Chains A and B, each alone.
Chain A
């Protein structure tokens, strides 16, 4: 699980313009404190789709359920990694 979490964090980091930012559990992904703009967030979702494909499941960031809890899902790096892992586990 730590490996997957690290992979999610790495993909967030790769999209940052400011490479001095350290990705930790509560690194914000939304709002004024986020280092990612909305378009980068979409790019991140696509990256995570690809990562999920490599692992063998489908990461769904477009369902009504995902959208309705999107603010919590994208609240920070930790919540996004948790959602990713939950979807991976649910697919087993």
Chain B
């Protein structure tokens, strides 16, 4: 079973659909899970207690978790000086603490079996230091740092931990960003192309595949930087 956070929208939803199409068992986490056509639970990833309850459910059901994809995330494209503190806090709580909590609490389910792959999400904004994305980039830089160190902690348990760092992918997260701004970001990638969620799903598939077992602690920049 692959646990996917942010399963109701954007990249998370696309990942769930892809994994299901490949015949994999998916368990989705999202704030709103109504109408999701696969097993899911409504929860807030920034709540340690709610993730713990989820883990209890998975344990009771003897679920064999072999993968975790932390796709839940929010963004607020603002200059740091004009970002209200409650928004900064929310971005850090969901993007960084949410990823940390899910890793901390769900990884032991894989550690027991000494098998698994964890995929966290960063952003091209970290590598490029994009203007107007400082708080978002800070939260994702935290995810990258956490993932590198966590990969070392998990290596003894045969669990790989990697990050995918997409550029501007066409999802709700891009609302409010103009086509010009997107083109400017894409132009800084090695491969000058705006990718779709399908490309991200390809990488997720790769990182969940035992063939990528030699990769851990890496940040994969979609399009290259």
Which residues of A does B touch, CB under 8 Å? Answer: 39, 42-43, 45-46, 49-50, 53, 58, 62-64
Q: What chain B residues lie within 8 Å of A49 (beta carbons)?
A: 59, 108, 112
Nearest neighbor of A46 in chain B, beta-carbon distance:
B112
Q: With A and B bound together, what is the CA distance between A1 and B225 in angstroms?
A: 60
* Shortest CB distance B161–A (Å): 15
Q: Would you call B104 and A46 a contact (CB within 8 A)? A: no
| Dominant secondary structure of chain B at its interface with chain A | helix
| Dominant secondary structure of chain A at its interface with chain B | helix
How many A-B pairs have beta carbons closer than 8 Å: the answer is 23
Q: With A and B bound together, what is the CA distance between A62 and B103 in angstroms?
A: 12
Q: Would you call B108 and A46 a contact (CB within 8 A)? A: yes
* Shortest CB distance B8–A (Å): 26
Q: What chain B residues lie within 8 Å of A64 (beta carbons)?
A: 48
Given A46-B108, A46-B111, A49-B108, A62:B156 Cβ within 8 A: no
13 A–B contact pairs at CB < 8 A?
Answer: A39-B153, A42-B108, A42-B111, A45-B108, A46-B108, A46-B112, A49-B108, A49-B112, A50-B112, A53-B59, A58-B59, A62-B52, A62-B108
Q: With A and B bound together, what is the CA distance between A50 and B111 in angstroms?
A: 12
Q: What chain A residues lie within 8 Å of B156 (beta carbons)?
A: 39
> Per a CB cutoff under 8 Å, which of B56, B108, B153, B157 touches A58?
B56
Q: What chain A residues lie within 8 Å of B52 (beta carbons)?
A: 62-63
* Shortest CB distance A15–B (Å): 12
B105 on the interface (CB 8 Å rule)?
yes
Q: What chain B residues lie within 8 Å of A53 (beta carbons)?
A: 59
Q: With A and B bound together, what is the CA distance between A64 and B51 in angstroms?
A: 13
Nearest neighbor of B56 in chain A, beta-carbon distance:
A58
> Per a CB cutoff under 8 Å, which of A43, A45, A50, A62 touches B104?
A62
Q: With A and B bound together, what is the CA distance between A75 and B153 in angstroms?
A: 21
